Amino acid sequence: MNLPAGFDPARPWLAPYAPRAAAMTAPLARGAGVAAVLSGQGADVGLPAGPLRFVQADAAPPGEAYEAFIFRTAQVPTRDNLHDLFNGLAWLHFPRAKRRLNELQAAEIARAGIGATRGPLRDALTLFDENGAVLDAPAALWAALLARDWPRLFMRERALWREARLLVFGHALLEKLVSPRKALTAHVLWAPGAVRSIAIDDAAIAAALEPDHLAGKPLAPLPVLGVPGWWPANEAPEFYDDPAVFRPARPPQH
């Protein structure tokens, strides 16, 4: 698999994954398959059906839902592409959270089957799995984020970002960030209850994935290249003068 130049473990959004990502570049460049490379990372992840394994994409029988197959077999069908490589990295680094997402998806599929729509719980699960992020930050940053008060979040409270940690969890978003674009937006999960922050910790993320909470779509949009230190251009205040990206909050509906 030919990795693009943008697959750079030194990027800030890849920091949690950097050691494994760096170790994978050589075998992938030599032509090893993504499933084999992920399996060679020494995963010790237990699922209800047994130890986690990465397998070729055609391992699942036709007609069986992807999440149901993983739950039944503890095997993750894996294509030779960036999307599935990042999905595997998420499994290796955050196995409890990924297991929790899979359990909830499989339970909903068993309950309601596969239809034209997923329903609110599966929508939230999919959005977080593909495009989610977790933010551990002071309350002032959370207040600004939830209000979509971008000048406060990124400029007036800029110094507070030194006390914050942002994890890009979603593998589709990690794939998109290989070719960074200003409009790329994470959906930040906030914790159940009064505390907004979730620790950048596998167990803490898994514990926040509660069905009743998720069904309310507790996800706040965050244009990730606006995060201080994540993109050189955002040092200039005019970077944020772009309402197509830094959109104001919608007025309340009556």
Residue ranges in 113-237 assigned as alpha helix (H):
120-131, 139-147, 150-151, 171-176, 202-208, 211-215
Q: Degrees (nearest 5) of the Cα angle 115, 207, 105? A: 15
How is residue 162 annotated by DSSP? G
Predicted pLDDT at 181: 96
CB 75 within 8 A of CB 98: no
pLDDT of the chain along its 254 residues, tens only?
Answer: 788 888 999 999 999 999 999 999 999 989 999 999 998 876 667 777 778 899 999 888 888 999 899 999 999 999 999 999 999 999 999 999 999 999 999 998 887 767 656 788 989 999 999 999 999 999 999 999 999 999 999 999 999 999 999 999 999 999 999 999 999 999 999 999 878 999 999 999 999 999 999 988 999 999 999 999 999 999 999 999 999 999 987 655 44
CA dist 109 and 188 (Å) reads 25
Predicted pLDDT at 113: 67
Residue ranges in 76-169 assigned as alpha helix (H):
82-93, 95-112, 120-131, 139-147, 150-151
CA diameter of the chain: 59
CA dist 50 and 249 (Å) reads 45
CA dist 168 and 180 (Å) reads 13
Cα-only R_g, the chain: 19
Predicted pLDDT at 63: 86
Hey, which residues does 54 pair with through a beta bridge? 76
For residue 41, the Cα-to-chain-centroid distance in whole angstroms is: 20
Predicted pLDDT at 80: 94
Predicted pLDDT at 23: 92
